[in-house]
Amino acid sequence: MPKKIDYWNMPYCYGYDTTSNTEILFGRSYQPLARRRFLDGFVQTIEAFKNKGQIDKPCLYCLFIEHDFKAWFYDDGNSARSNMATRRLVIGVWDDFLKGIDVRDRLYNVHRDFRFPDCTVRSRFHGMLEALSPFDRRAG
């Protein structure tokens, strides 16, 4: 029988730390779920959140993780608990983050401009695709 999913332990917030050049996924209570070197693919799962919202063992790393930038995948009006589209989104974010795939294009709210090593993100509420500056985006 599958375990009940705890939506508070699904990705809610994305963080980036300039000093360590790492990306962090945070849950709804801003607890760290996973961290990886920026677009590197090496992922450190935190608190063994390997089953999309299910906690497999007690947290050993639940201390605050420094970060310079944060943005959100959804807000209270479209939470993963009550919105199936948001639920599918954060499950996809979780899977892709663990695979080393960039998840910034799925951010929903960006509160301030921020310069990443590969692009500049402009502040924007309710959608980030337009917030990525096309002239700063990786050449492709």
Tell me, yes or no, whether 134 lies in a domain: no
Q: Which residue reads 């607890």 in tokens?
A: 31
Q: Is residue 132 part of a domain?
A: no
Residue 124 lies in a domain: no
Predicted confidence (pLDDT) per residue in 48-79, tens digit: 444 444 444 444 445 567 788 999 998 877 88
pTM: 0.74
Residue 130 lies in a domain: no
Does some domain include residue 44?
yes
Distance, CA of 68 to CA of 114 (rounded, Å): 9
Q: What is the number of domains present in the chain?
A: 1
How high is the pLDDT of residue 122? Answer: 82
Q: How confident is the model at residue 3, as a pLDDT?
A: 58
Separation of alpha carbons 34 and 44, rounded Å: 6
Is residue 75 in some structural domain? yes
Minimum mean pLDDT among 42-46, 60-64, 71-75, 127-131: which range? 127-131
Which domain, by its residues, includes 37?
A: 7-57+64-108
- Evaluate whether residue 68 is within a structural domain: yes
Q: Are 118 and 36 in contact (CB under 8 A)?
A: no
**CB neighbours of 35 closer than 8 A, spacing ≥ 6?**
22, 23, 24, 25, 43, 44, 46, 65
Residue 118 lies in a domain: no
